[in-house]
């Protein structure tokens, strides 16, 4: 119950964690329930005791992402200066550069793939992105007289665009280049 990664965690938790990883690495469409069940060491038929459909399992993954972002932003709030909080945010993506170069940003790629749907899931998948943008805008409000919403978008667009290019070109250094930008360093705040 307490272990968030290992085999001792609850079955529901193992299913969500396994699905999260597989969706990121292989994409939504290529990931089957059989794959997820195997990764979580749960028999296929038992998945439906915890989730009534594949879509609902994906929804749980999105909710888990939102939870992770929320935790991350709360951690960043402990940093005294707002400008340093923003720099630390960008540094998080730089630290994930190897994974990003292979599989892209987990939030960005999932939003991109689910955005093509017209059930509610397309908008839900934007949740983590909305959270980060709103938080960033709040930090910027302390720093600049310019439009915080617009500056937040500029900042995170650089991160997401950098992640996309790093992934397409399989080049982790692109993420570092983005993190070193004056933009990301909040020199213009």
Given the rule CB under 8 A, which residues bind its own copies? 25-30, 103-104, 108-109, 111-113, 115-116, 123, 125-126, 129-130, 133, 150, 153-154, 156-165, 167-170, 174, 177-178, 181, 183
34 binds DNA per the rule CB under 7 A: yes
User: Rounded distance, CA 102 to CA 17, Å?
Assistant: 19
Which of 4, 26, 46, 75 contacts DNA by CB under 7 A? 46
User: Rounded distance, CA 95 to CA 166, Å?
Assistant: 13
User: In the block, which residue shows the tokens 């540094």?
Assistant: 91
Cβ atoms of 156 and 132 closer than 8 Å: yes
Classify residue 153 by burial, with Cβ atoms within 10 Å: 0-12, 13-18, 19+. Answer: middle
8 binds DNA per the rule CB under 7 A: no
Nearer to DNA, 59 or 97 (CB): 59
Nearer to DNA, 49 or 188 (CB): 49
Look up residue 86 and give its two tokens. 């923003």
Nearer to DNA, 32 or 71 (CB): 32
* Binding positions for DNA, rule: CB under 7 A: 11, 31-34, 42-46, 48-49, 52-55
């Amino acid at each position: 119950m307490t272990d968030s990664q290992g085999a001792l965690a609850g079955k529901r938790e193992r299913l969500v964690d396994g699905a999260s990883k597989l969706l990121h690495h292989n994409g939504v469409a290529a990931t089957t329930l059989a794959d997820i069940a195997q990764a979580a060491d749960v028999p296929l038929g038992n998945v439906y005791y915890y989730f009534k459909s594949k879509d609902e399992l994906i929804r749980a993954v999105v909710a888990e992402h939102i939870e992770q972002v929320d935790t991350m932003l709360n951690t960043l709030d402990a940093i005294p200066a707002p400008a340093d909080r923003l720099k630390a945010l960008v540094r998080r993506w730089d630290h994930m550069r190897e994974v990003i170069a292979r599989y892209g940003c987990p939030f960005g790629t999932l939003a991109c793939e689910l955005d093509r749907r017209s059930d509610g899931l397309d908008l839900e998948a934007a949740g983590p992105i909305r959270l980060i943008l709103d938080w960033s805008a709040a930090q910027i409000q302390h720093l600049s007289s310019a439009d915080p919403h617009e500056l937040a978008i500029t900042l995170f667009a650089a991160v997401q665009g950098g992640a996309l290019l790093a992934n397409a070109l399989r080049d982790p250094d692109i993420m570092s280049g983005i993190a070193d930008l004056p933009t990301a360093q909040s020199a213009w705040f």
